[in-house]
Structure 1
Amino acid sequence: MKINWGTGIVIAIVAFIGFILYFVITMSTNKMYSYDLVTDKYYQQELKYQQEIDATKNASKLKENITLNKSEKGLNVIFPKGFDYDKIKGKVFLYRPSNKQLDFEMSISTSSQYLLVPEKRLLDGRWNIIINWSYNNKDYLFKKELNI
């Protein structure tokens, strides 16, 4: 049996469609490729975006911003020098892009220059840290991607 060029094109198109369908079905049913949204309340977060922009600008105007230091006990969040640490208020949010069950939030309560995030809460891998803090009614925002 001889295959002409028309039959060859049809076979190629059918093979290509089969190839694409295989990957679509694999990606939609395999749990390994399942990723969660950044947040379930996406549109509410969008409305707060201007406040984040202002807080980020305030943080960029600081002479020294927040620094992060990994230690044996965990992750040290070191606040800028020259601030009264008792007056710093806010929250630290650690977000795990690959698994929302590992996300956690903690309030900032410091009596020294740094806040410790315990080692037992931080599994190896990529984390996004977002620190919303205020000092003397002025908001600041710090964001960074971490690989622990």
Structure 2
Amino acid sequence: MNWGTKAALGLATFMTFIIVLGVFMFNSKDDALVETDYYEKGINYDQDYNRKEQVRTDHAEPVIATGQETLVLNFKESAKGTIKLMRTSDKSLDRMVPFETDSASRVVIPSASLKKGSWRVIINWQSNEKAYLYEQEISIN
């Protein structure tokens, strides 16, 4: 086999590889990086930014503690809102939890049903007629 044949076979193999990857990419339906409500999030970006800045202005960052069987969120004042638990590796495990703080201004969420690993916690709440938004990465062991 001379060098021309080897070069042609190498080029054909590379082209086949690229075509197979292209077909696989177009037939893949599950893409965790694509948001389903992309435009709504873009329109509401200013509101989200203002709520995040309100957390910094009021020093209202909740303290998140992960335990063996619970996830505890401690707020500075009584609050009511929603907690979105997002699994960074699998969108199907995401959860939305409505909450209202107890008399000690805390929320306790059972974490036994949550898969171990990295999670993003997005807390959207209201306290004293002010709106807040806070995000944090946590690890559940």
TM-score by length of 2: 0.80
Matched, 1:41 2:37: yes
* CA RMSD in angstroms, aligned pairs only: 2.6
SS of 1:121's partner is coil
Aligned partner of 1:72 in structure 2 is 68
Q: Deviations over 1:91-122 (max 9, x none)?
A: 11111233333211111211222111112331
User: Is the Cα–Cα contact under 8 Å of residues 59 and 142 in structure 1 kept in the other structure?
Assistant: yes
SS of 1:36's partner is coil
Aligned length: 139
TM-score by length of 1: 0.77
Q: Deviations over 1:57-85 (max 9, x none)?
A: 111123351111012331111112xx2x2
Unaligned runs of 5+ in 2: none
Q: 1:107 to 1:62 in 2, by over 3 A?
A: same
Mapping for residues 50-65 of structure 1, pairs under 5 Å: 50-65=46-61
Amino acid across the alignment from 1:103: D
SS of 1:59's partner is helix
Unaligned runs of 5+ in 1: none
Provide the rounded CA distance (Å) in 1 between the counterparts of 2:126 and 2:12: 60
Q: 1:35 to 1:2 in 2, by over 3 A?
A: closer
Q: 1:121 to 1:38 in 2, by over 3 A?
A: farther
User: Is the Cα–Cα contact under 8 Å of residues 35 and 99 in structure 1 kept in the other structure?
Assistant: no
Q: 1:9 to 1:50 in 2, by over 3 A?
A: same
Aligned partner of 2:10 in structure 1 is 12
Provide the rounded CA distance (Å) in 2 between the counterparts of 1:38 and 1:92: 21
Larger strand share, 1 or 2: 2
Aligned partner of 1:138 in structure 2 is 130
